[in-house]
Amino acid sequence: DIQMTQSPSSLSASVGDRVTITCRASQGISNNLVWFQQKPGQAPKSLIYAASSLQSGVPSRFSGSGSGTDFTLTITSLQPEDFATYYCLQYYDYPSSFGQGTRLEIK
Amino acid sequence: QVQLVESGGGAVQPGRSLRLSCAASGFTFSHYAMHWVRQAPGKGLEWVAVIWSDGTNRHYSDSVKGRFTVSRDNSENTLYLQMSSLRDEDTAVYYCARSSSAIPWNYWGQGTLVTVSS
């Protein structure tokens, strides 16, 4: 099974900052990675698919990159509504697997 | 608009069974693979199961294999998760999600809570 290691587990930042979250797969997964955002009490929301494609309606301050085993989610110019928990998911092979999550908090 | 509405959650004793449903609308249900994902209280997301658009193929996480069965009724636009031999650790909010090869994982339901406790 493929393991997804996400870092950091938590992150403090200020409005306007640029932040980067990383996800590493235990084996190559090509670009079969999705990034999600989840706010308390809500379902996850897809931000990025195929490692770097922006889901419809997602602001362009979100971007994804990577292929193979190493992936990043970058948020430029943080907005108040961006403080949430972020997860990666690999869909290269089953069982699919999520990263442990990164909690993004206001500094 | 695309809607996924889960139902069937509730409180159940360990060892018992429960069936969850996910009613789909606003899209051609039979064209999409469907997933179940769960989230234990205060914990991260855990992928549970997937079923192909035509129901011909299914996969499960190791934690539920042999106890849970995913199925679908494309004529009723409904996804199911039959859960048997429930354990305390199955307590979670269960979400259904839609996926396609073109745009994976782009819609989720709001979830239904399953509580397993004696």
Question: Which sign, positive or negative, has the C-alpha torsion A97, A103, B2, B6?
Answer: positive
Per-position DSSP letters for B45-70, written without gaps between them: EEEEEEE-TTSS-EEE-TTTTTTEEE
Interface of A with B (CB under 8 A): 1, 32, 34, 36, 38, 42-46, 49-50, 55-56, 87, 89, 91, 94-101
CB nearest to B50's CB, from A50, A94, A98: A94
Give the closest residue to B36 by CA, choosing from B83, B73, B88, B75: B83
- The radius of gyration of chain B from alpha carbons, rounded to an integer in Å, stands at 13
Q: How far apart are CA B62 and CA A30, in angstroms?
A: 23
CB nearest to A98's CB, from B47, B106, B109: B47
Q: What is the pLDDT of residue B4?
A: 98
Structural contact between residues A62 and A49, judged by C-beta atoms closer than 8 angstroms: no
CB nearest to A43's CB, from B99, B106, B110: B110
Structure tokens at B105: 């994982």
Query: Can you tell me whether residue A54 is helix, strand or coil?
Result: strand
> How far is B75 from chain A, CA to nearest CA, in Å?
26
Q: How far apart are CA A72 and CA A11, in angstroms?
A: 14
For range A47-62, the mean pLDDT? 96
Structural contact between residues A97 and A38, judged by C-beta atoms closer than 8 angstroms: no
Judge residue A104's burial from the number of C-beta atoms within 10 Å of its C-beta, 0-12 exposed, 13-18 middle, 19 or more buried.
Answer: buried
CA distance readout (Å), B50 to A80, B55, B102: 34, 9, 16
Does the distance separating the beta carbons of A45 and B105 come in below 8 Å? no
> How far is B16 from chain A, CA to nearest CA, in Å?
25
Q: State the best of B27, B38, B58, B105 to mutate against chain A, taking most chain A CBs within 10 Å.
A: B105
Structural contact between residues B90 and B116, judged by C-beta atoms closer than 8 angstroms: yes
Does the distance separating the beta carbons of B35 and A95 come in below 8 Å? no
User: What pLDDT digit, counting tens, does each position of B28-83 carry?
Assistant: 999 999 999 999 999 999 999 999 999 999 999 999 999 999 999 999 999 999 99
User: What pLDDT digit, counting tens, does each position of A1-44 carry?
Assistant: 999 999 999 999 999 999 999 999 999 999 999 999 999 999 99
Q: How far apart are CA A47 and CA A22, in angstroms?
A: 15
